[in-house]
Amino acid sequence: MEGRNKTLGEFIIEKQEDFKYSSGELSRLINSIRLAAKVVNHEVNKAGLVDIIGAFGERNIQGEDQQKLDVYANEIFMQTLINREIVCGIASEENDEYITIKGQDGCHNNKYVVMMDPLDGSSNIDVNVSVGTIFSIYRRVTPEGTPVTTEDFLQPGINQVAAGYVIYGTSTMIVYTTGNGVNGFTLNPAIGTFYLSHPNMEFPKDGNIYSINEGNYVHFPQGVKNYIKYCQREEEDRPYTSRYIGSLVSDIHRNMIKGGIYIYPTSAKAPNGKLRLLYECNPMAFLTEQAGGKASDGFNRIMEIKPTELHQRVPFFCGSYNMVEKAEQFMREAKEQE
């Protein structure tokens, strides 16, 4: 099969050579994520019919109220990866600590660790807005055969071997990269198969959409305020259009297709930013760079930040290359004037 008739399974087999150092484990890992995504998609799409929406009644390590679907999606992705004995460790936004995984032989011989946000934007489920799953895959740095340690998870984003997201929207898609471009696959729900629908996805170099929660404007750093004013100014190619869904996967996905910038800066209310470096920013940065875009914390490349803790937060500027460059310019100029 060629082009848009190609299934995700066929594509993975065809691109096996993209998976460095792998003898099939990474391909099986992507396939496991595909399976878990179909299960979660099924629950998301019947959320209004069963007792799966609303708060779970507990808070996660971030101090955020867990939604029932957060817990469900976390369990599904965890169990799918554990049962297939492909990974040696998993860290999730929903868990306080990483988990170590043994094989059936009791050994720790698998090569990969996975970090994930199992259901990004889950508070939007109740109002039928698109949500997603974000995943990031690294090759372990500690010796095979030993239990994983924190060192295996606190790697800079440049070490990622694969990353991607699933978006559960009007259609369900898996978008991922292994460092050789970005491709998107859409689920045909009638037969449960993902087909290549968006080959070689790329951010337009320029865009006219800016995505930021302007309700927090008074709390933003001066550089961000100045950039927003620039976006709103009446010029030949402006004002830009403001589009903010509040679901990271949805906002990034739209901007990748149409051209735009997503910003979640530091603020008086979130002095380190709100988004998590390991579970959200690094995987989205990898995808963005592979799609010709740019991702930074306003000053530095996201994927070169050395993590210091599992749930570390960072400011995030991500999207069309020239738009992020312009935002960084405003950030630098404001800092110089402090």
Q: Which residue has the higher pLDDT, 106 or 314?
A: 314
* Residues 204-225: tens digit of each pLDDT: 999 999 999 999 999 999 999 9
Per-residue pLDDT band at 258 (split at 50, 70, 90): very high
Q: List the single range of 27-31, 155-159, 283-287 with lowest mean pLDDT.
A: 27-31
Per-residue pLDDT band at 62 (split at 50, 70, 90): low
Residue 119 labeled ligand binder: yes
Q: List the single range of 28-32, 156-160, 177-181, 205-209 with lowest mean pLDDT.
A: 28-32
pTM equals 0.92
Q: Identify whether 239 is preceded by a cis peptide bond (ω within 30 of 0).
A: yes
Q: Which residue has the higher pLDDT, 69 or 198?
A: 198
Residue 65 labeled ligand binder: no
Looking at residue 331, its pLDDT comes to 98
Q: List the single range of 37-46, 113-122, 191-200 with lowest mean pLDDT.
A: 37-46
Looking at residue 198, its pLDDT comes to 96
The share of the chain scoring above pLDDT 90, in percent, equals: 69
Domain range summary for the chain, segments of one domain joined by +: 3-198, 209-336
Q: Which CATH number fits domain 209-336: 3.40.50.720, 3.20.20.450, 3.40.190.80, 3.30.460.10?
A: 3.40.190.80
Which of 213, 301, 315 lies closest to 273 in space, CA to CA? 315
Per-residue pLDDT band at 67 (split at 50, 70, 90): low
Looking at residue 45, its pLDDT comes to 75
Residue 274 labeled ligand binder: yes
Looking at residue 19, its pLDDT comes to 64
Residue 27 labeled ligand binder: no
Looking at residue 63, its pLDDT comes to 53
Residue 250 labeled ligand binder: no
Judge whether residue 52 has pLDDT over 50: no
Sign of CA dihedral 319, 322, 327, 331: positive
Residue 117 labeled ligand binder: yes
Residue 122 labeled ligand binder: yes
* Residues 93-131: tens digit of each pLDDT: 989 999 999 876 667 788 899 999 999 987 777 777 889
8 A C-beta contact, residue 138 and residue 115 = yes
| Full DSSP string of 216-264 | GGGGS-HHHHHHHHHHHS-BTTBSPEE---S-HHHHHHHHHHH--EEEE
C-alpha distance from residue 172 to each of 12, 16, 193 (Å)? 18, 24, 11
Per CATH, 3-198 and 209-336 having the same topology is answered no
Per-residue pLDDT band at 49 (split at 50, 70, 90): very low
- Backbone dihedral region of 168: left (phi > 0), alpha (psi from -120 to 50 degrees) or beta? beta
Supply 287's token pair: 């995808």
Residue 93 labeled ligand binder: yes
β-strand partners of 113: 89, 138
Looking at residue 206, its pLDDT comes to 97
Residue 210 labeled ligand binder: no
Residue 234 labeled ligand binder: no
Q: Which CATH number fits domain 3-198: 3.40.640.10, 3.30.540.10, 3.40.980.10, 3.30.420.40?
A: 3.30.540.10
Looking at residue 104, its pLDDT comes to 67
Looking at residue 56, its pLDDT comes to 45
Q: Which residue has the higher pLDDT, 284 or 268?
A: 284
The mean of the pLDDT values for the chain is 89
Residue 123 labeled ligand binder: yes
Q: Which residue has the higher pLDDT, 56 or 322?
A: 322
Looking at residue 66, its pLDDT comes to 59
* Residues 118-165: tens digit of each pLDDT: 999 877 777 778 899 999 999 999 998 899 999 999 999 999 999 999
